[in-house]
Chain A
Amino acid sequence: MIKVSREVKDLKEDLYIFEIVKGLVVTIGHMLKNVFNLKKLPVIDYPNQEKGIPQGYRGMHRLTQREDGTPKCVACMMCATACPAECIHINATESENKEIEKYPERFEIDLLECIFCGMCVEACPVDAIRMDSGVYSIVKTNRRDFVINKEQLLAVKPQSESAKELNIEKPMHDYK
């Protein structure tokens, strides 16, 4: 247990008014600094500019593809089993290709149920599902649209590519 001493140091601190003035000086200092350097405020003009997100950020899911465009997923249900939110729904079908055996006919993720924990990514034995899209702002107008299907998941691109396409600029201000 930490005991916080409530004793005041001296009369000056006990008078309280000087401490208030000290605090006021701190805030007005920030204010004046910012009024005269509005361009250097440590903020981004968010919808107009984006900061970009770090590598390894768990954004919206995507399904990786083989070279011929089919999903790498073999419908082994490992991700659906690992999912603590039970938001992954897979219907498996037999593949014509004998080496692949199975592929998902339906692969849906309910983004409203998803907690973005990344367990599906870790569970996948064939690196078919990833969360490296870098998409963190998912906006739809009704609940049904948040259940995204296989085609939509295949269309999502990894962050490095989508960053190029969205033309994410460098933030206006450098951070320290």
Chain B
Amino acid sequence: MITILDFLIILIKEVFVIGICLSLVPVLVWLERKGAALIQDRIGPNRASIGFLRLGGLIQLVADSVKMFFKEDIMPTSVNKFYYYLAPFIAGMVPLMTFSVIPFADNLQIAGSRIPMQVLNIDAGFLWFFAIVSFSVYSVVLAGWASNSKFPLLGGIRASAQMLSYEIPMGLSVIGLLMIFESIHLNDFVVQQGELMWGIIPKWGIFMQPLAFLIFTVCAFAETNRSPFDLAEGESELVAGFHTEYSSMKFGLFFMGEYISMVVSSALIVTLFLGGWQIPYLNTNMIIEHSKILMQFSCVAGAMFSFFISNRLNDYSKYYKDRWKDSRDKEAGIFSALTMILGIALLATFGLVSFVELPDFISPLFAMVAQTGAFFGKIFLVCWLFVWVRWTLPRFRYDQLMKLGWQTLMPLALINIFLTGAFLQFLGNK
């Protein structure tokens, strides 16, 4: 029986997950543009501003999205309207649905009840993930076909063949993990990854199954249609591939969908191979036990970091005193002051934590916040890997792509299964 409280908890988790996914999109676009710029020895977007607020280029994305909303929405007369409209919806919606099975912290033991920190706590686990993520191929295929134009059609065909081919090694590479962890519930995976191997190395998937990690990551790149596998929108050959005929916010949805699926793929990579919400060498009980000292430590570390940032911003504002010759010049100074205040506030929290007796429910909450932070920090790092690879590698040729998928990754995944089985047989269970 589901009570109103349960319902509220689920609603809060849902809003949290969707909010995080959607708000990571502009951050990732910013990361991509700034990262690309810095890799190529440029500065990147830094000019757009609301008043004095520049945020190092983040405001550029506000300008971009306003532009995208208000642009003329052109629809070619020859399209199949229903599927033409359906495609961007699928592109934007499907990745958001897949995030729901991913646990972002350990089960919260609070006031006698146990709250799982994942929206959809079902036993199907990542089978759900694979089932739903396969839908995203429909957005590409439908967009390509419904546009009734040659370039989108070619892009759609390419993308569908590519995504279907890479789904197979992707699925096969995870089987090794299944054999080790003996569960398909994602939270079980993460809990088991908290143990230590030979007392030193955390039992993360990447250390247990390095080959599977490699295959899975390559396939995740291909699944999200990211470079070096972005043949579906290879602009040198196909204009813009499957979304050539889309304009304004319909294009925006494809664009957002790409970044959301990037977040979701990195979330799964983190959950399966990088220990999920586990903080290495600190399991949940240890965090709750030593919560006081850990809180003190994180307050002090955060305060030090704030002061460091504040100092750097102060240098920056002195160096660029009259760069823009308007209120934007004061931004760095203002943020320097704000981070200084933040640092002082953290020190005050340190005092509060040290000298005031804290209620019982703070410790599990602190553990949850710390684990959620660790989880999203890891996601951010994997997303950076996506960006980093995009600005390093050139695009594959189509035959190379297919050869890699079928002749290299699939046999490797099969070998991985065989090796894992052999190890488990001869070295005893785990």
A binding-site residues for B, Cβ under 8 Å: 17, 20, 23-24, 26-28, 30-31, 34-35, 38-39, 41-43, 45, 48
Contact = CB atoms under 8 A, between A and B. Distances in A.
B40 A30 contact: yes
Nearest to A23: B392
A101 B391 CA distance: 65
Nearest to A19: B393
Given A31-B35, A34-B38, A23 B393 contact: yes
Contacts of A24: 388-389, 392
A139 to B, nearest CB: 17
Contact of A30 (B39, B214, B324, B389): B39
Contact of B388 (A28, A41, A42, A43): A28
29 contacts: A17-B214, A20-B393, A23-B392, A23-B393, A24-B389, A24-B392, A26-B392, A27-B39, A27-B391, A27-B392, A30-B38, A30-B39, A30-B41, A31-B35, A31-B38, A31-B39, A31-B388, A34-B38, A34-B41, A35-B38, A38-B43, A39-B319, A41-B42, A41-B43, A42-B41, A43-B41, A43-B42, A43-B43, A45-B323
A43 B214 CA distance: 37
Contacts of A17: 214
Nearest to B228: A20
Interface string B299-343: 000000000000000000001000110000000000000000000
- 4 shortest interchain CB distances as A-B pairs: A34-B38, A27-B392, A27-B39, A31-B38
Contacts of A38: 43
A23 B394 CA distance: 11
A17 B35 CA distance: 22
Interface in B35-56: 35, 38-43
Name the prevailing secondary structure of the B interface residues: loop
Interface of B: 35, 38-43, 214, 319, 323-324, 388-389, 391-393
A16 B40 CA distance: 23
A76 B411 CA distance: 79
Nearest to A47: B47
A62 B40 CA distance: 38
Given A23-B393, A24-B388, A42-B41, 17 more contacts: A17-B214, A20-B392, A23-B392, A24-B389, A24-B392, A26-B392, A27-B39, A30-B38, A30-B39, A30-B41, A31-B35, A34-B38, A34-B41, A43-B41, A43-B43, A45-B323, A48-B323
Contacts of B43: 38, 41, 43
A30 B40 CA distance: 7
Contacts of B319: 39
Nearest to B218: A17
Contacts of B40: 30
B111 to A, nearest CB: 45
A23 B392 CA distance: 6
A38 B332 CA distance: 15
A38 B39 CA distance: 12
Contacts of B38: 30-31, 34-35
Contacts of A34: 38, 41
Contacts of A28: 39, 388
Nearest to A24: B392
Contact of B324 (A31, A39, A43, A48): A48
B389 to A, nearest CB: 7
Contacts of B214: 17
Contacts of A41: 41-43
Contacts of B39: 27-28, 30-31
A151 to B, nearest CB: 32
Nearest to A35: B38
Q: Which of B38, B324, B389 has the most CB of A within 10 A?
A: B38
B403 to A, nearest CB: 12
A20 B38 CA distance: 19
Q: Which of B39, B214, B319, B388 has the most CB of A within 10 A?
A: B39
Nearest to A28: B388
A90 to B, nearest CB: 43
A27 B384 CA distance: 13
A23 B391 CA distance: 10
Nearest to B322: A48
A28 B42 CA distance: 14
A31 B31 CA distance: 12
A42 B37 CA distance: 12
Nearest to A39: B319
Contacts of B324: 48
A45 B43 CA distance: 9
A140 to B, nearest CB: 23
A48 to B, nearest CB: 7
B388 A27 contact: yes
Nearest to A49: B323
A118 B324 CA distance: 36
Nearest to B315: A39
A87 B2 CA distance: 81
Contacts of B392: 20, 23-24, 26-27
Contacts of A43: 41-43
Nearest to B316: A38
B211 to A, nearest CB: 11
A35 B391 CA distance: 16
A20 B391 CA distance: 12
A154 B313 CA distance: 49
Contacts of A35: 38
